[in-house]
Amino acid sequence: MNRKEYNDCVAAGLKGKKLGREERKQEFCIVAKTCSGKAKGREEARVLCSQPKEPKPPRREGSASCNREASRLARCVSERVDVSQVNDAGSLRAALDTAIKACQCPGQRIK
């Protein structure tokens, strides 16, 4: 069954029914299971829809967007730290702190 046939089947199954929110969710699940072929009839679909959903796996740490953000921050900080003014660990920390604040909050005045 292609997508259009599936959508038409689901639309026909829900057409003309005046249902509340929870009833509509249940009816949509039943119709969708029947139209997709996952259930052979309404009773089988009702049983499938009443089963609890499996929990989604947790998101991984270090996702691509996090890596891009870290890379962007590193590039921004490296452009703002003036190495010629760094004499010791204290001045390096201060320079990095100022640069990181400027990179995280662009457009804001940093003290």
Give the three-class secondary structure for 11: helix
- What pLDDT sits at residue 62? 57
- What pLDDT sits at residue 111? 47
Please tell me the total number of residues recorded for the chain in this structure.
111
- What pLDDT sits at residue 107? 56
Distances (CA, A) of 7 to 28, 34, 36, 87, 99: 11, 12, 10, 68, 53
- pLDDT tens for the chain, 111 residues long, are 788 999 999 988 888 888 888 899 999 999 999 999 999 999 999 999 999 888 888 766 656 677 778 888 889 988 888 878 788 888 888 888 888 888 876 655 544
d(CA 26, CA 45): 10
- What pLDDT sits at residue 2? 85
